[in-house]
A and B are shown apart, each in its own frame.
Chain A
């Protein structure tokens, strides 16, 4: 069995107290007519408690989206059980609704941004008197207000993902499922997403985020579970960098001032989206360099070890298996 919960395996039947999202021994096999069956999920047990922000990470095709689609009630598992708040997902969704960002986000291209959000707010049950306010608030929070009259098909860059996030938060739902919300996000949008997750965290709300970006997921969530080829690999609790992690490579993300990076860290490599990989020999060297960058007028968005805790676990596990 592949269990992915810090709190121990979920029971085979019934709901575990406090668990809002609960998958127990779930397997999913796709059997296309023209090809051999594909096992997308293999005996996965996973749960997210109320008040928790959980992450699930793994390479493309690992089964993350399938797991979220099953949790959202869009797909049925081939075996195992899925419960949202103790009931079957589709029944829960029809009763309360969920905030769901699917991957890819698909909306009719002819809809305008504000129109799309208003429609989805109406379908979410937002009261008529609040609809306009909620739509405008969601657009402002995700930086879409200036794009409100644009058609969905003409949205550029990460605006489409931001629209996906806006539609997910336009109503208050207790269950939030975000599939690859980090996809193609700029540094500024990433900041917005971090603030959004902090704001959405609530005692009765369960948030599950799936992403390939394990390091960023660690910053956003309470714990990250790795999944690969349909099996959860190892539960990972987010932890801070220890001195043992320090000597090595760090990822520095700047809001602006990227032109100064090479002057301060001559061996830095640009990773795109205003993020640079820099090699340092210790905390002191890292802090000296960062101070120098700030003195030159750069605005720092984040600093993280290149190999975060979960990555390290995953690498070690893979090495063992190989």
Chain B
């Protein structure tokens, strides 16, 4: 008898929308609001009846929201899939069934990614109808790329530690900070070291930079997305190998 993992996909997708969709929207909204406030954007600046400047600020705020959503959705896509499942002890019951732990977890992670893309695209569609047109395939691709990079790293970290979220936040913050101070560090003669460290860190700064191009449907150099996509894919492969070797917490 073989377990019907494909038939179980519907439950995993439902679990994503029931338990993680709302927290993803709320947290990404708060993060975007914080970032916008830090840039001096106020509610009165987002006047739909305003001129070109106002519309430009609205579009920039949307792109900020898109980036925040993509990052949060990527991290949340891996949440509850491996680490939470193990720390609560659900793995013992589920993996007494004739199924592969690697396939079960990977399927859950992939479906969470699909859920995130659907959620992001629907949100962008609402924005496009109500406020300003956006390039929906670009939004979907951007969220998918973030899922691959941020989610892939979160997926890997969650297979090795229960404290993967703080570690993920630290690693991403380190990359963004390094990118922010890259010019200054280069002037100080640490350019080579900075570049080497950046190669080891997940290229979150590339995602941040590309948000506008994806949302506006601008042409994107495939080489620009190869690094984050490759980094994320490598994380997922390593996570699957680790899960194969150690399917349980103990």
Q: Show the binding face of A for B, using Cβ within 8 Å.
A: 69, 72, 74-75, 90, 93-100, 102, 104-108, 110, 119-120, 122-126, 128, 167, 171-173
A106–B3 CA distance with the chains assembled, in angstroms: 20
B94/A123 in contact, CB under 8 A: yes
A122/B100 in contact, CB under 8 A: no
Given A69-B250, A75-B250, A171-B1, A125 contacting B97 (CB threshold 8 A): yes
Distance of A73 from chain B, by nearest CB (Å): 8
Cβ–Cβ < 8 Å partners of B97 in chain A = 93, 97, 120, 123-125
Chain B 13-37 interface 0/1 with A at a Cβ cutoff of 8 Å (1 = within): 0000001000000000000000000
Cβ–Cβ < 8 Å partners of B4 in chain A = 122-123, 125-126, 128
A27–B97 CA distance with the chains assembled, in angstroms: 25
A74–B97 CA distance with the chains assembled, in angstroms: 12
In the complex, residue of chain A having the shortest beta-carbon distance to the beta carbon of B19: A110
Cβ–Cβ < 8 Å partners of B3 in chain A = 97, 122-125
Interface residues of B in 160-201 (CB under 8 A from A): none
Most buried by B among A74, A98, A120: A74
Cβ–Cβ < 8 Å partners of A94 in chain B = 98-100
Contact with B1, one of A96, A104, A105, A119 (Cβ below 8 angstroms): A96
A100/B7 in contact, CB under 8 A: no
User: Which of the segments B85-93, B137-145, B229-237 contacts the partner chain?
Assistant: B85-93
B1/A97 in contact, CB under 8 A: yes
Cβ–Cβ < 8 Å partners of A100 in chain B = 92-93, 96
10 A-B pairs besides A123-B4, A126-B4 with CB distance below 8 A are A74-B250, A75-B248, A97-B1, A100-B93, A106-B88, A108-B88, A119-B8, A122-B4, A122-B8, A167-B93
Q: Show the binding face of B for A, using Cβ within 8 Å.
A: 1-5, 7-8, 11, 19, 88-100, 247-248, 250
Distance of A122 from chain B, by nearest CB (Å): 5
Given A106-B89, A122-B11, A97 contacting B247 (CB threshold 8 A): no
In the complex, residue of chain A having the shortest beta-carbon distance to the beta carbon of B1: A125
B7/A128 in contact, CB under 8 A: yes
Contact with B93, one of A75, A107, A126 (Cβ below 8 angstroms): A107
Cβ–Cβ < 8 Å partners of B89 in chain A = 102, 104, 106
Distance of B97 from chain A, by nearest CB (Å): 4
In the complex, residue of chain A having the shortest beta-carbon distance to the beta carbon of B89: A106
Distance of A93 from chain B, by nearest CB (Å): 6
Cβ–Cβ < 8 Å partners of A102 in chain B = 89, 92-93, 96
Distance of B12 from chain A, by nearest CB (Å): 10
Cβ–Cβ < 8 Å partners of A106 in chain B = 88-90, 92-93
B90/A97 in contact, CB under 8 A: no
B90/A74 in contact, CB under 8 A: no
In the complex, residue of chain A having the shortest beta-carbon distance to the beta carbon of B88: A106
Cβ–Cβ < 8 Å partners of A105 in chain B = 93
Cβ–Cβ < 8 Å partners of B99 in chain A = 94, 97, 123
In the complex, residue of chain B having the shortest beta-carbon distance to the beta carbon of A167: B93
Cβ–Cβ < 8 Å partners of A93 in chain B = 95-98
A95–B3 CA distance with the chains assembled, in angstroms: 9
A96–B98 CA distance with the chains assembled, in angstroms: 5
Contact with A97, one of B7, B98, B248 (Cβ below 8 angstroms): B98
B90/A107 in contact, CB under 8 A: yes
A247–B247 CA distance with the chains assembled, in angstroms: 53
In the complex, residue of chain A having the shortest beta-carbon distance to the beta carbon of B80: A108
In the complex, residue of chain B having the shortest beta-carbon distance to the beta carbon of A100: B96
A39–B213 CA distance with the chains assembled, in angstroms: 59
A72–B99 CA distance with the chains assembled, in angstroms: 13
Cβ–Cβ < 8 Å partners of B19 in chain A = 110
Given A123-B4, A123-B99, A124-B98, A69 contacting B90 (CB threshold 8 A): no
A98/B100 in contact, CB under 8 A: no
Most buried by B among A72, A90, A97: A97
In the complex, residue of chain B having the shortest beta-carbon distance to the beta carbon of A171: B1
In the complex, residue of chain A having the shortest beta-carbon distance to the beta carbon of B84: A108
Cβ–Cβ < 8 Å partners of A74 in chain B = 91-92, 95, 248, 250
Given A69-B250, A106-B90, A125-B1, A97 contacting B96 (CB threshold 8 A): yes
A72/B92 in contact, CB under 8 A: yes
Cβ–Cβ < 8 Å partners of A69 in chain B = 92, 250
Most buried by A among B3, B19, B89, B99: B3
Cβ–Cβ < 8 Å partners of A122 in chain B = 3-4, 7-8, 11
A110–B97 CA distance with the chains assembled, in angstroms: 21
Cβ–Cβ < 8 Å partners of A99 in chain B = 96
A90–B100 CA distance with the chains assembled, in angstroms: 10
